[in-house]
Structure 1
Amino acid sequence: MGNTEAVPDARMLAGKTQVSVDAGAMFLGEFQKLSRGSRARLKDAYVWLDYFSVPQEWLDIANADTETQHIARQMHWNSTMAIRTTQDLHIRAIPFFVQACDVFVALVPPLRHHDTGLWCNYVSWFTRGWCRCEVWCRLLLGSAKMPVVVVCSPDQADFVQPWQWANGPPTQGQFTIETDSAVIAQIMQEALGHKLRVLEARKKWDMYRYFAARYEVLTGQPSRKRTLASFLADFKFDSFAAAVAETGMGPIACATLSGDAEMISFFSQAKALSNPLKGLLEVGIPNGYTPIYLAVRYAWHCPEVLQSLLETKANPDALDMPGIPVLALCVTVRDVVTLVENRADVNKRSAYIKVPILSLACNACAPLGVVAKLLEMGAHVNPAAVGGFGTAHPFAHLALTSAVNPHCLEVARLLVQAECNINLQCRAGGFWRLVEMASRCYLQLEAGALPARSRSVRCRVLASVFGEWTTTPLGFACLFGSEQMVHFLLEARADAELRNARGHTAFQLARSCSVLKLIQEHQKQVQHSG
């Protein structure tokens, strides 16, 4: 955990722990688990630690043993990357190890860096270029079904969802040695080339076009302008007419992802179809995304793309299938301004979930500048409860994704400065009120007469959220095991004694060891000061 210090001698896991999927992913239909066969294979599995795969000492290949020289020549035959040292050889082997894995596990407990004093955790882990490269190699070279598990504490192990990393190109990560960015770019070029060949052979055109469109971004190259002929060839459209009639990942979606505003205008004038996409869940794209969603989520580095879509009458108030407005998914202040100038409503709520844009932006890990701009443009910091999903409060959504949100605490401070009511309780209505009552019934049954064989992890997680969501932001932070949010809200003097509809205080919803320990320390301080 430092420039000269190794990882402290600490036991991360002992015995058994349950690997879970977060409630948000379950709500969208994602429920991942290790099969019985996978668990059986892991009993006799080998463990590969990337910590040992990049030695700091290196030897010139010309002076290495004969076997090492032979391996280096084999790996270099189909590569544009020079392999001159044994360190280069180890680095080049990383994708092969990832490809051979059955399970990808990241051990990321919160620990302080020995030299900088900064906290190292899952968020900091994923800012690093090499860590991003490994995750992307898992998708490009391995199996899409290979689970990615993040272990944050002895009792917290979660499956990582694609939306958490799909917008993090490895070349845009952080590097101790800046020249490593060029090395990763070459690794990504080879891995993407492999993936595209596999997808073309299997005729999986939607996924092929996704990767072809994002090739330049993922390999650290500038966006490329194409002629019509090269556009049709690169995205495997048989003809111009076939492109215009495409009902899946069509030419406008391809042009959006690749940052080609001219092609957006051209195909829009040609009346090309622009239907909502079928979900590409393995890269984090849910059902119902239209090109304007792709623009704010993945093509934010090309501002002319969003402008071109709006000029072709794309809806600035668009809603996806779960009812999330496109404005809530912006990652740049510029895109927020552009959409609002085109009459997007900063307080829009869908008729289905009725969660306001500011709260959804917090859920989507929006940067501080985006949240600040939404507030500046009139987003309500204390939105009224109007039924629907019930969790209308920005802090509740901030707690939901805080473990993967690098902007969590700075956004929380901004909300407090804007006089956000940190004790506001959530209240569902309509259909979601029925879901709440059904969840409370399930929790009661599970605590009593429900046989063990009838119990479901998925039902328990969802019921715990829906049944307890009349709690406060502090209650959500305790429920989701968000240690940093619990600490922040207690420091901000959140009321820990408020009870939800089931009669539970925020502290009674806590499950994780780290949060329970924090609560105990807080209660000791209160007793001491009292």
Structure 2
Amino acid sequence: MCFPMYAVPLKVLLQMGEMIPHEELKATGRLVEFQNSLGKAMFVSHQWVGHRHPDPEFKQLKVLQDALTYVTTELEVIPVDLVTETMMPSAKGLRTAELRSDPLFIWYDYFSCPQLEYTSQRRDNENRSQLLNAIASIPAYVNTSSFFLALCPVVENPSQSMLFTPASWAERGWCRVERALRELCSDESWIMVKSATNVELVLGKEASVGGGPPGEGEFSVAEDRTALAPVMVDALRRKLHMLLQSQDLVSYRLVLNLQGVYLSGLPAETLHEPVPGFSMNTETDSVSMAVASFLFQNGFASVRQRDRAGWSPLHYASLRGDPTLIQGLLDQRADPNCKTRRDQPRVGIPPLTSAVSICLLYKHNKAARLLIEAGAAVNGSGQIRPPMTCAADANNAEGVRLLCESGCSPHARNLFGISAFESACACGSMAAMEELLSQSQSGFGGRSFDMSDALFCAMLHRGGTAELVQWLVSKGANVNKSRSVWKHSVAFGILTTLKSLQHTYGTASACTKSLHHVPEATPLMLAVNTSQYAGAAALVAAGARLDIRNLRGWSAADFAKGQSMPGFLMQALEGNPTECLRVSAIASDGYVEVFF
């Protein structure tokens, strides 16, 4: 570390009634220079809401206080999100006893790093240097922390001109960096706080939040990307060597082949190959050389071998997306239609996923084209994540076009009867939505999509932005329409029934609660339940009714009970939609970026 890891004891954090800068906390003895012998640390990632101030109205921190109180006193397990629990049965939540087993200390930038506006001019240069050292130490802080928490409730800035949401957190470059650094620690899981009572455990890159590679995020200072490249490279190297030392070869293969994804958008060097000793005849052609090197680095003896996770070399090569490597594996008779045999929560890939689906999920479209030309099936009937669904989830408009050109219908559905368009809406993938609609109207008989079903799916998962709601409503979505759980798929109806029984008689989770209440629920009910408050505001502005009840007899207001919600939505649920009309008008305009 270039600067000590200062942290606030949990008790001190919970007693705060206002934001207190680093200098004052340190001067009054309320900061601790954290060491592992003291207990456990929690790193908090968040956006700054005000200009030169992270939380002028104490809104974000109040949610953090309430959420930490909730998970340490009322929850036994922090659950995984709905989609992760549905697609990957092996995924497990975090037992909150781990948060209580040792004293907990909170790293939060405003408390833990020097704040220049609170220093005298004489010491300005010294403190600026300390601030830069603290920023340079962020990888070490994340690595030292036992827990990583993304604090991203829906809040407005003081001027009420910007709205901050989980989606805006996921787009911010520095937040992506912090999240990626966590994924490259020994424990890559992290906690997402959307409200005081909506807390989820995130296990993989494709779970309950969007985003992407750090280098493709939004930075207020463009030069930050250049400075970040060596940081990410070092983190990847440490992770790879740690996994090799622990002999966790499955995780090693995942990280090894995702290096290019992590470094996308950064001026990074060639990918790291941690296993020494590879040599080959210099007369060997480049394609064969690429395959031999890949098999050597990944610890495979042949192109058709499977590891204990049920993945073949072609699946890992699809994560990497190198067309030369893919072609070489195909030349050596790798099966273009081979499917994964087990789920892999870390990358959000369920069993029976094809190599072409993996390519499309990571936007490796040239590699996907090679697989299709080699005979890879594009329709993926009966799969949880067929190719078109993966392209839609990843907001991969080019991948959607490629599949349609190859004969795949834009109306393709997955095992649970969810269409690719509905899945795109559920993930907030606007570019993929528009491409799917264009392809459907131009080349597949002019068929359209059920926009009301799509709106329902968006509110059930994480697509509930105001912009998406407004777009679907403009295309004819009915904001008060429910969707039958048996529509298009018996599998989803059975899943919903089983999860409802589990919620009633077994162990409840975010997934069981959502599916228990899905029958006859409206999009507004789902938006409130999933804490998608910006989308809820847009629904109210579009005429969503408050008097409708679902099959369990719940109204939208019933879902709000026990939640800490923004004032604009509370007023709407009490019958005054004025503030929701205002918020809906500004919600799709973006958000403020403040570099600390």
* Match status 1:329 vs 2:361: no
Which residue of 2 is the match for residue 466 of structure 1?
516
Aligned amino acid, residue 357 of structure 1: A
Q: Which residue of 2 aligns with 1:422?
A: 479
Match of 1:128?
172
Question: How many angstroms apart in 1 are the aligned matches of 2:555 and 2:255?
Answer: 47
Mapping for residues 12-27 of structure 1, pairs under 5 Å: 12=63, 13-14=65-66, 15-17=69-71, 18=75, 19-27=78-86
Query: What's the offset of the Cα at 1:120?
Result: 2.4
Find out whether 1:314 has 2:382 as its counterpart: no
Distance 1:311 1:514, change over 3 A: same
Is residue 280 of structure 1 aligned with residue 337 of structure 2?
Answer: no
CA distance in 2, matches of 1:116, 1:183: 33
Aligned match of 1:50: 109
Provide closer, same or farther for how the CA distance between residues 109 and 412 of structure 1 changes in structure 2, counting only shifts above 3 A: closer
What's the counterpart of residue 327 of structure 2?
Answer: 265
| 1:232-271 correspondence runs (5 A) | 232-236=292-296, 242-246=302-306, 248-271=310-333
Q: Secondary structure at the match of 1:243?
A: coil
Q: Contact 2:153/2:193 (CA < 8 Å) preserved in 1? A: yes
Deviation at 1:503, TM superposition (A): 4.0
Q: Distance in 2 between matches of 1:209 and 1:441?
A: 38
Residue in 1 that maps onto 2:546 = 496
One-letter amino acid of the structure 2 residue matched with residue 157 of structure 1: V
1:474 Cα shift?
A: 2.4
Counterparts of 1:356-375 in structure 2, within 5 Å, are 356-366=419-429, 368-375=430-437
Aligned to 2:593: none
SS of the aligned residue for 2:194 comes to strand
Write the distance in 2 (CA, Å) between the matches of 1:128 and 1:438.
Answer: 38
Return the match for 1:229 from 289, 300, 308.
289
- Name which structure has the greater RCO, CA cutoff 8 Å, separation 6+: 2
Post-superposition offset of 1:484: 1.7
Q: CA deviation at 1:311?
A: 0.6
Deviation string, structure 1 residues 40-99 (Cα, Å, up to 9, x no partner): 334x222222345554769xxxxx9xxx9xxxxxxxxxxxxxxx9544532332122211
Q: Is the CA contact (8 Å cut-off) linking 2:571 and 2:577 kept in structure 1?
A: no
Match of 1:354 in 2: 417
- Alpha-carbon distance in structure 2 between the residues aligned to 1:174 and 1:426: 36
Question: Which AA in structure 1 matches 2:481?
Answer: L
Task: Report the AA paired with residue 2 of structure 1.
Answer: G
Aligned to 2:53: 5
Q: Report matched runs for 1:338-353 at 5 Å.
A: 338-350=402-414, 352-353=415-416
Q: 1:382 aligns with which of 450, 460, 472?
A: 450
Deviation at 1:188, TM superposition (A): 0.8
| 8 A contact 1:212–1:234 mirrored in 2 | no
Deviations 1:312-356 (A, max 9, x none): 11111125743x332122222221111011111122234x42222
| 1:256–1:441 distance in 2 versus 1, CA, 3 Å | closer
> What's the CA shift for 1:37?
4.4
Deviation at 1:253, TM superposition (A): 3.0
Give 3-state SS (helix, strand or coil) of 2:296's partner: coil
Q: Residues 27 and 486 from structure 1, CA distance in 2 versus in 1: closer, same or farther, beyond 3 angstroms?
A: same
Question: What is the aligned counterpart of 2:234 among 190, 209, 217?
Answer: 190
Cα offset, 1:522, TM superposition: 4.8
Q: How does 1:83-232 map to 2 (within 5 A)?
A: 86-113=130-157, 117-144=161-188, 147-162=189-204, 163-164=206-207, 168-219=212-263, 220-221=266-267, 227-232=287-292
Shift of 1:228: 3.1
d(CA) in 2 for partners of 1:239, 1:483: 47
1:288-299 matches, cutoff 5 A: 288-298=352-362
- How many residues of Structure 1 are paired with residues of Structure 2 in the alignment? 475
**Mean CA deviation greater in 91-100 or 45-54:** 45-54
Scaled by the length of structure 1, the TM-score of the pair is 0.78
Deviation by residue 1:458-499 (Cα, 9 ceiling, x = unmatched): 3x8515523442222223223323222222112111333334
Q: Residue 128 of structure 1 aligns to which amino acid in structure 2?
A: R
Instruction: Report the 3-state secondary structure (helix = DSSP H, G, I; strand = E; otherwise coil) of the residue aligned with 1:46.
Output: strand
Match of 1:395 in 2: 455
* Conservation of the 8 A alpha-carbon contact between 1:141 and 1:195: yes
Name the aligned partner's letter for residue 178 of structure 2.
Answer: E
Q: Secondary structure at the match of 2:225?
A: helix
Residue 121 of structure 1 deviates from its aligned partner by: 3.0
Q: CA deviation at 1:6?
A: 4.2
Q: Check the 8 A contact 1:319/1:326 in 2, yes or no.
A: no
**Residue type of the alignment partner of 2:432:** V
Q: Distance in 2 between matches of 1:294 and 1:439?
A: 28
Displacement of 1:381 in angstroms is 2.5
Deviations 1:270-310 (A, max 9, x none): 21245323333123333332211121111x1x432221111
1:521 aligned residue:
572
Q: Could you say what secondary structure the match of 1:149 adopts?
A: strand
Is the 8 Å Cα contact of residues 424 and 473 (structure 1) preserved in structure 2? Answer: yes
| Identical amino acids, percent of aligned pairs | 21
What SS does the aligned partner of 2:107 have?
Answer: coil
Unaligned runs of 5+ in 1: 59-63, 69-83, 384-391, 447-453
Aligned-residue offset at 1:526: 7.3
Cα deviation, residue 119, structure 1: 1.8
Secondary structure of 1:47's aligned partner = strand
**1:266/1:202 Cα in 2 relative to 1: closer, same or farther (>3 Å)?**
same
Q: Is the 8 A contact 1:250 1:273 kept in 2?
A: no
SS of the aligned residue for 1:501 comes to coil
Is the CA contact 2:150–2:192 (under 8 Å) kept in the aligned structure 1? yes
- Structure 2 counterpart of 1:333, one-letter code: A
Alignment CA distance shift 1:294-1:167 (3 Å): farther
For 1:128 and 1:52, locate their aligned partners in 2 and report how far apart those are by CA, in whole Å. Answer: 21
Matched, 1:479 2:543: no
- Cα pair 2:154 2:163 within 8 Å, conserved: yes
Give secondary structure in 1 for the equivalent of 2:339.
coil
- For residues 153 and 442 of structure 1, do their structure 2 counterparts lie closer, same or farther at Cα, with a shift above 3 Å needed? closer
- Amino acid of the residue matched to residue 425 of structure 2? C
User: Contact between 2:485 and 2:493, CA under 8 Å: does it hold in 1?
Assistant: yes
Alignment check: 8 A CA contact 1:122 1:152 kept: yes
8 Å Cα contact 2:155/2:163 also seen in 1: yes
Larger CA deviation: 239-248 vs 187-196:
239-248
Alpha-carbon distance in 1 for matches of 2:216, 2:327? 29
